[in-house]
Structure 1
């Protein structure tokens, strides 16, 4: 996937997340997939996107009890 395509997809996801137009969990999964793609292609990872992915991961872990203290 071209870097420009990834940038466009990131912009779309952030718009959906801000507007609550999509399922937050689905958006989280798509962000993870994009970060994995960027890693595989050797592209630099945007730090703000990495932090957003971690925040969403923590949110969903706490909701399901799958976090470090959950279970």
Structure 2
């Protein structure tokens, strides 16, 4: 997938998450797909996507901890 397409997908994902209009599970799946594609193509993922990935992982871990 061309880098421009990945960048556009990433930007749309960030906007949807920031606006809270996205289902977090779906957003997570999309984020992982974008990051995995970038990594497979030897591209460095943007820092904001990496931060989002870490934030979502922390949120999911917190949710799982609260349910225990």
Cα deviation 1:3-57 (Å, max 9, x = unaligned): 0000110111111111111102211221111111100000111112111101111
- With the length of structure 1 as denominator, give the TM-score of the two structures: 0.82
Higher helix share: 2
**Which residue does the alignment assign to 2:17?**
17
Gaps of 5+ in 1: 66-70
Which gives a bigger RCO, structure 1 or 2 (Cα 8 Å, sep 6+)?
2
- With the length of structure 2 as denominator, give the TM-score of the two structures: 0.85
